[in-house]
Structure formats: C-alpha cells, structure tokens
Amino acid sequence: MLDIKFIRENKELVKENIKKKFQDEKLPLVDEVVELDKKIRQLKLDGDTLRQERNATSSEIGLLMRDKKIEEAEEKKKRVSEINGKLTDIEKNEETLSEELKEKMLVIPQMIDDSVPIGKDDSENVEIEKFGEPVVPDYEIPYHSDICEALNGLDKEAAGRTSGNGFYYLMGDIARLHSAMLSYARDFMIDKGFTYCVPPFMIRSDVVTGVMSFAEMENMMYKIENEDLYLIGTSEHSMIGKFKGQIIKEEELPITLTSYSPCFRKEVGAHGIEERGLYRVHQFEKQEMIVLCKKEEAMDWYNKMWSYTVEFFRSLDIPVRTLECCSGDLADLKVKSCDVEAWSPRQQKYFEVGSCSTLGDAQARRLSIRAKGENGTYLLATLNNTVLATPRGLIAFIENNYQKDGSIKIPKALQPYMGEKEIIALDNRK
C-alpha cells in the first residue's frame, strides 16, 4: 500500500506505474483515492473547527454560570449539543470514507523499481545469468515420478484415496532425501548468519491482507471453516506477521531469519502434463529467508539473498539461472523480483525452484512495522526469498543427479544428512 501523501503529490506517476503493470482497469482508482482523501481531510478540518468552537463555548458556559446568566448559559449549552451532533455525523462519515479509501488503496500496486523490465506477463521475463553448465546426458532420464516409483519412494495412488489429486506419499530413501535437502538448507542459511525459526502454520485474516494482494489470497489460501484462520502458503506470511504493530530498535537491524514450514496452496488453474508428478501440488515444504532492514539497504540484501539460493543449488550439482521478473509478472506488493530456475536435463529447459522479492515498505505499511532511531520512527523494507521448496527442489536434484544405471548420486554437501550415503541405488530400496 502506497503512502496517501505520495499518491496525492504524484498522481500521474502512480498512474504511469499502473500502466507499466498493464492494469489499466485500476487507473480510475487513483482519482477516486485522491478525491476521497480530499473529502476526509475536509471532514477532519470541519471536525477540528467544531471542536475548537465547542471548547470555547464550554468555557463561556462556565463564566456565564458564575455570573448567574442562566438563560445565556442554556443557549450556549444548546449550541454545544448541536456541535456534538454534528461531530457524531462527521466522525461516522469520516470512518466510512476512510474504510472506502483503505479498500481502494490496497488494490493500487506498489511502485516498481526503475530497473524492472517492462512486459505483460512471465513470457517476457528476462534471463540475467546462468550458473553451471546445463548438461544433457547421453542416456534417457525418466520422468521424476517414474524414478521415485522405481526406488519405491512415491505413492500418489494411495494419496489420491486419502486426500485427492495434488497430494503424495514419499517413502524410503526418497523421503529421506526430501528431508535431507531441507535440513541442509536450514544449516546452509544458519551458516550465513540467519536465525532459524519455525513459525505458526496458520494466520489470521488481518495478517493475510497485510502480506499479500487480494488476487494472490483468492488463488492461494485455504481458509479454516468457521474460524478466522488461513493455512499459510509460505512461511513468509507468518514471519512478516510476527512483527505486526511492532516498533523495532534501529540497532537490532537488519533482522535476518530463515524459516521452515509446510505450505498449502490451492494452485487454482494448475494443469498440464507435469501435474501427474510432483511439480504442482497442494502441499509442500519450504526453507525460506526473510529480511527486515532500512529501505536504503534493501537492494543490497536483495542481491545477497538470491545469490544464496544460487550457491545452495550449485552445491548440489544443479545448474541454475536467474530470471528477472517483468512488470506484468510482479505481484502488486513487489518492487522487484527474480526467479531462480533449475535446469531440467529431461525437458532440456529450466523451471522455477525459487523466487526472491523486495517489497519496499508495502507490507510494513499495511502491518505497521517500524523502526525507531535518532530521528524518530520509520517504516522498514521487507524481503523474502526461497532457499528450497520441495518436492520441486527434489525434482531438480533427482534429474541432475540421475545415473545411467537408475541410481541417484548424492553430492558431498548432502552426504552427512543421508547417513554418509554416496548413492541411492535400486538395490537400496526399503
């Protein structure tokens, strides 16, 4: 959510930003917001004027009563009563208009960074850099679910009976590999100086609307029936919500956290050949990184954060690339975002395994997250980035470490988390 003062003083700039995001249907909101703001400020002014009159009149009543001028005092009391009635009406009107203003402002997108490429959708995202050589072996790599099933590590049929489409059972060495990757991701970030955290997996609606746009909420979140609780789609939601309404001491900045959670998503509209495997599922697990910092430090942290994800995947012998998200592919709260994509030797193309975003002060403004320094309080910048989301990360690992004999090679970095195993072979099935 933008600062109303910024919108008031930069109306055309805000409209231009909306056009860059190809959301022209939102253009009328800018004028509507400015007009509502004008009405609210006038109501505040009228209210202040009436309160001044009421205070002055109340003082006069005291003097008139002292001087036994009862009739004049009664007339003044009538005026005070009239003022109170008008103030009640003004305050109700101000509350109604303020709520309407907030609803409209929540829909106006955050100002994007000047470096963001302009494009309508993810087809116009821009490759930044590749890390590692994308190799296509001289033998066939089966579909990832077929590899897992051959190792007795996946049962989607049983999950269909218990839970429906989009769920799965992982078993044996594949389940262990899944957990090992998450444990390694946790320790990888702890070694980078981040504090480990396991957050609540459900959050209230006021936190949901504080951390994401309405469109994201509708497409992603599962609501708990008859309760004001939602299952989280990523631990970022809980982690940013942790600081709701807080004033943080400046000397405690930056706050760097890495959080584990299961994640739950509707995946509305998900379809296609990849859906028969583990690429798009309703439940997955994730190691996330969260940073709260001064706004002027946000871009430095943004570049550090995505580079950590690249380093993590390269340590597992997985080639990756970074992809700059274009304006039309940015969620409304984001200032700038990039995806980290892993190489798929089976498909001979890259696919998304993580996303890094800086949101400026959008979430902090919605949730009133501030820092206090020598010059007073100020809103913080918030950033989030995926270290590992799996089983999607598991797919990348399996494909890039699959051997001709049907086994899966375990890189050195992961061996301590796999009981020092160097390979998952067919004869290791449990």
What does the pLDDT read at residue 268? 57
* pLDDT surpasses 70 at 195: yes
Question: Are 352 and 386 contacting, i.e. CB atoms less than 8 angstroms apart?
Answer: no
Query: How far is the CA of 135 from the CAs of 219, 402, 408, in angstroms?
Result: 35, 12, 16
Calculate the alpha carbon distances from 30 to 78, 104, 183 in Å. 42, 9, 47
Tell me the average pLDDT of the chain: 93
Q: Tell me: the pLDDT tens digits for 90-121?
A: 999 999 999 999 999 999 999 999 999 999 99
Torsion angles phi and psi, residue 97, rounded to 5: -70, -35
Instruction: Name the pLDDT band for 273 (thresholds 50, 70, 90).
Output: very low
pLDDT of res. 430: 40
Domain boundaries, the chain: 4-105, 122-428
- In the chain, % of residues over pLDDT 70: 97
C-alpha atoms less than 13 angstroms from C-alpha of 408 in its C-beta half-sphere? 28
The pLDDT confidence band at residue 255, using thresholds 50, 70 and 90, is: very high
Predicted confidence band at 67 (pLDDT cuts at 50, 70, 90)? confident
Does the predicted TM-score (pTM) go above 0.85? yes
Of residues 277, 280, 282, the one with CA closest to residue 265: 282
Measured distance CA(331)–CA(120) in Å, rounded? 12
**How far apart, in Å, are the Cα atoms of 112 and each of 4, 19, 75, 214, 358?**
17, 11, 58, 18, 10
160, 151 in Cβ contact below 8 A? no
SS3 161: helix
- Is residue 274 a contact partner of residue 91, using CB atoms and an 8 Å limit? no
Is pLDDT at 267 greater than 90 in this prediction?
Answer: no
Contact between residue 327 and residue 112 where contact means Cβ atoms under 8 Å apart: yes
Instruction: Give the DSSP H or E segment for 396.
Output: helix 392-400
183 vs 200: CA distance, rounded Å: 19
Give me the mean pLDDT over the 67-87 stretch. Answer: 90
**Per-residue model confidence as pLDDT tens digits over 279-299:** 889 999 999 999 999 999 999
Q: Name all contacts of 24-29 with Cβ < 8 Å and 24+ positions apart.
A: 26/107, 26/108, 26/109, 29/104, 29/107, 29/108
Note the pLDDT of residue 276.
Answer: 72
Q: Where would I find the beta strands (DSSP E) of 107-254?
A: 126-131, 154-155, 169-170, 195-197, 202-203, 222-223, 230-231, 247-249
pLDDT tens digits, one per residue of 126-184: 999 999 999 999 999 999 999 999 999 999 999 999 998 889 999 999 999 999 999 99
Residue 221 pLDDT more than 70?
yes
What's the pLDDT at 269? 53
| Per-residue CA distances from 2 to 106, 186, 248, 308, 429 (Å) | 8, 34, 21, 30, 55
Contact status, residue 153 vs residue 170, Cβ threshold 8 Å: yes
Rounded alpha-carbon distances, angstroms, from residue 285 to 233, 261, 282, 303, 343? 10, 6, 10, 24, 20
Q: What is the pLDDT of residue 212?
A: 87
- Name the pLDDT band for 34 (thresholds 50, 70, 90): very high
Please report the pLDDT score of residue 427 as a whole number. 66
384-402 burial, b if ≥16 CB within 10 A, otherwise e? bbbbbbbbbbbbbbbbbbb
The CATH homologous superfamily to which domain 4-105 belongs is Serine-tRNA synthetase, tRNA binding domain (1.10.287.40)
CA distance 213 to 216: 5
For the cut 80, the answer to whether the pLDDT of residue 266 exceeds it is yes
- Local structure of residue 253 (DSSP, 8 states): P
In CATH, what class is 122-428? alpha beta
What is the 3-state composition of the chain as percent helix, strand, coil, each rounded to the nearest 5? 50, 20, 30
Angstrom distance (rounded) from CA 177 to CA 154 = 12
In whole angstroms, what is the distance from residue 90 CA to residue 84 CA? 10
pLDDT at 219: 75
Q: What is the pLDDT of residues 356-413, one digit of tens each?
A: 999 999 999 999 999 999 989 999 999 999 999 999 999 999 999 999 999 999 999 9
Q: How far apart are CA 37 and CA 418, in angstroms?
A: 59
| pLDDT exceeds cutoff 70 at 270 | no
CA torsion sign for 118, 364, 190, 418 is negative
Q: Which amino acid is at 77?
A: K
